[in-house]
């Protein structure tokens, strides 16, 4: 095996870098005979040919992209048609230089030049035009989404604060799965077809267990494919993403693995109680109020006047220095009575449950953040939130285009 082809096969799921959410299509089993250039799907006034479908399937297989290659190929090609039509409506075109840069960027993720990447694809029967169209249509869709939505929203400092705070929560999960592992020696098409058939036919845990005992090559086959509780951190991300979209008892789409095709049944989900939570740092303020009969009303009025802990500095102006203290400490070092109350607060919220030395403590949580070596890069978090917002808007945009399109099989 030549070096470029080996490098290509080591890159898993590169297509995620340029892809966006796919649409569900009404497709059944496609006939395997006929001209390579016959239409297999019509999208408005455009058609997808069998040749394009087979090329895209082969390309996705080489990338080890998750899911059923035929279904994902049809989805991707349909999105391409929708994107091209929308780009034409806005008179948006890519220059040859933009296309070349996109191909170079994609190939670079496999540590290959564009020519080496094309050579590796050619060894497996994938034409250069298939790669070019895949890369250029991904860029075209990305530019469409950014052009339409990039200036339509801003990420506020409060959103960044919430994102930082949410990063301190222990969100690790465990999954209770069953598996069917179908070994592949060469072309995985036959096992993909079997996996699709099993997914369509299985509707119960007993049915999945029977199929696992009959077909699965995994050591779990004797247990009906049943696995023990498994932390999500121990599973490949593409499998976690796939099964978390399922309800209990549902079976996943086929997943292409090295030398195998797999389907999974989700039996249950729970939080991972054994996972170690990240170290957390708290910033909090204590503002002492006279403990009068109406002190709780005063505390509520104070909170209505301020938005952040910094606003308390104005409230404390002219008062003795000990009336307001602001501290930053690891959560483990915060005194127990304060820690219990702070654990129940979000940044900007307060509690007036404590008294101290005849005064009522207006306790406000300023921030809660994971302890990160080198500090927290707020601009990096802003970029991540912007990307996430654009992804959600792209999903809605694509759904709008799909709902307005006429998509049919010949």
Q: Provide the residue-wise pLDDT of the chain in tens; the chain has 410 residues.
A: 343 443 343 333 333 333 333 333 333 434 444 678 899 999 999 999 999 999 999 998 888 776 778 888 999 999 999 999 999 999 999 999 999 999 998 888 778 899 999 999 999 899 999 999 999 999 999 899 988 887 888 888 888 777 766 555 445 678 899 999 898 877 788 888 999 999 999 989 999 999 999 999 887 889 999 988 877 766 666 677 788 878 889 999 888 766 778 899 999 888 655 555 566 788 999 999 999 999 999 999 999 999 889 999 889 999 998 899 999 988 777 876 677 678 778 888 998 888 887 899 999 999 887 766 666 677 877 887 888 788 888 888 888 998 899 999 88
> Residues of 210-239 as b/e, b for ≥16 C-beta within 10 angstroms?
ebbeebbebebbeebbbbeeeebeebeebb
Contacts of 310 (CB under 8 A, 6+ apart): none
Distance CA 208, CA 248 (A): 13
Instruction: Note whether 19 and 138 are within 8 A (CB).
Output: yes
Distance CA 164, CA 381 (A): 8
């Amino acid at each position: 095996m030549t070096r470029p082809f080996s490098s290509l096969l080591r890159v898993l799921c590169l297509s995620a870098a340029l892809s966006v959410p796919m649409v569900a299509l009404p497709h059944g089993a496609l006939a395997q005979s006929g001209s390579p250039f016959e239409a297999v799907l019509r999208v408005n006034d455009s058609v997808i040919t069998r040749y394009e479908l087979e090329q895209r399937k082969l390309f996705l297989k080489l990338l080890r992209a998750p899911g059923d290659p035929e279904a994902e190929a049809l989805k991707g090609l349909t999105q391409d048609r929708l994107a091209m039509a929308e780009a034409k409506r806005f008179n948006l075109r890519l220059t040859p230089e933009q296309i070349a840069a996109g191909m170079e960027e994609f190939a670079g993720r496999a540590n290959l030049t564009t020519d080496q990447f094309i050579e590796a694809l050619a060894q497996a029967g994938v034409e250069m035009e298939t790669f070019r169209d895949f890369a250029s249509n991904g860029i075209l869709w990305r530019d469409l989404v950014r052009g339409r939505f990039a200036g339509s929203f801003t990420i506020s400092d409060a959103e960044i604060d919430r994102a930082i705070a949410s990063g301190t929560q222990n969100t690790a999960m465990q999954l209770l799965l069953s598996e069917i592992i179908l070994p592949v020696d060469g072309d995985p098409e036959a096992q993909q077809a079997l996996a699709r058939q099993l997914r369509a036919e299985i509707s119960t845990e007993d049915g999945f267990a029977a199929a696992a005992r009959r077909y699965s090559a995994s050591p779990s086959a004797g247990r009906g494919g049943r696995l023990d509780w498994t932390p999500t951190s121990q599973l490949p991300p593409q499998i976690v993403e796939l099964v978390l979209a399922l309800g209990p008892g549902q079976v996943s789409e086929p997943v292409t693995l090295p030398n195998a095709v797999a389907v999974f049944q989700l039996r249950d989900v729970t939080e991972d109680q054994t996972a170690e939570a990240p170290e957390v740092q708290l910033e909090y303020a204590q503002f002492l109020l006279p403990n009068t009969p109406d002190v709780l009303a005063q505390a509520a009025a104070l909170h209505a006047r301020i938005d952040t802990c910094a606003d308390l500095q104005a409230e404390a102006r002219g008062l003795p220095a000990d009336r307001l203290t602001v501290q930053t400490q690891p959560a483990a070092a915060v005194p127990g009575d304060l820690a219990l109350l702070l654990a129940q607060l979000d940044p900007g919220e307060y509690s007036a449950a404590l008294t101290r030395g005849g005064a009522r403590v207006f306790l406000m949580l300023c921030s809660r953040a994971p302890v990160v070596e080198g500090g927290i890069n707020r601009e990096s978090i802003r970029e991540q939130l912007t990307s996430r917002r654009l992804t959600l808007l792209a999903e809605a945009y694509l759904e709008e285009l799909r709902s307005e399109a006429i998509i049919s099989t010949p």
